[in-house]
Structure 1
Amino acid sequence: MSVPPESVIPPPPPSEPPMASGPSAEERQWAMFAHLSALVGLLIPFGSIIGPLVIWLIKKDTMPFVNDQGKEALNFNITMGIAAIVCSMLMLILIGFLLLPVLVILWLVFVIIGTIKANEGTAYRYPFTLRLVS
């Protein structure tokens, strides 16, 4: 006795692999702290480099998103430190007096944008950044 092909139930489709979710809430929080820690530089000399460096060194092996964003924050703040030194030297020919306040405002705006993006779970890339730490 044979079964007609119309009555054969087709096999279920293969299950799809689970969608890769974004960074966890804890990873997003630590990445946000990596960006925000640069504001320590307003109180402590070189704090804008030390803050992201410490968070990156602590969390880089356990949280990939924090590793990426910590390096990004560190690279950006090193770049801004170099730019601040150049602006300070340019004060001898007076143009540094105009460039340094612009640099500080851009630094503050980009740190805030990076903080917001990290909190959203988006990998943020700062513009005009030398990628020294990779």
Structure 2
Amino acid sequence: MKENKQLLVLTHLSQLLDFVTGIGGFIVPLILWITKKDEIRNMDQHGKAILNFRISMFIYVLLCIPAVLLFGLGLLGFLVIGIFYLIFPIMNAIKASNNETPSYPFSINFIH
């Protein structure tokens, strides 16, 4: 296995494609993880963390939809999730460049 910190950083930052394409922020990290998890050191760990984060945030978005009817609490949820979508990929890209373990708070561990 070879080390490629730049690809790990790119994988985390590729989540920001959602702000441009809508769905690319899930598809690109998924493809990078599937194709490179056995070639790049720590790609499996980083890829799983990203996908668990993305799936968890999608579930939280779905929960916010009916919560909009409850005094607009869902709107606050959408705002918080939007901030998470922006900040955590950047923070974890920095961690990846420093050989640190990725950390996505509020992630449910779907992929082990």
Q: Does TM-score exceed 0.5, indicating one fold?
A: yes
Within 2, Cα distance between the matches of 1:41 and 1:103?
Answer: 13
Within 2, Cα distance between the matches of 1:90 and 1:69?
Answer: 31
Show the counterpart of 1:45: 22
The alpha carbon displacement at 1:119 in A equals: 1.1
Within 1, Cα distance between the matches of 2:55 and 2:24?
Answer: 11
Matched, 1:125 2:98: no
Query: Normalized against structure 1, the TM-score is what?
Result: 0.75
The count of aligned residue pairs is 110
Unaligned runs of 5+ in 1: 1-22
Instruction: Give aligned-pair identity as a percent.
Output: 33
Which one has a bigger Cα radius of gyration? 1
Q: Secondary structure at the match of 1:64?
A: coil
| Residue of structure 2 aligned with 1:90, choices 67, 70, 74 | 67
Aligned pairs (5 A) from 1:78-117: 78-93=55-70, 94-117=72-95
If asked which structure has higher relative contact order (CA below 8 Å, sep 6+), I would say: 2
CA RMSD in angstroms comes to 1.5
Show the counterpart of 1:70: 47
Unaligned runs of 5+ in 2: none
Query: Normalized against structure 2, the TM-score is what?
Result: 0.88
* Structure 1 consecutive aligned stretches of length 4 or more whose deviation exceeds 3 Å: none
AA at the equivalent of 2:101:
A
Within 2, Cα distance between the matches of 1:47 and 1:82?
Answer: 17
AA at the equivalent of 1:68:
Q
The alpha carbon displacement at 1:46 in A equals: 2.7
Decide which structure has greater helix share.
2
AA at the equivalent of 1:120:
N
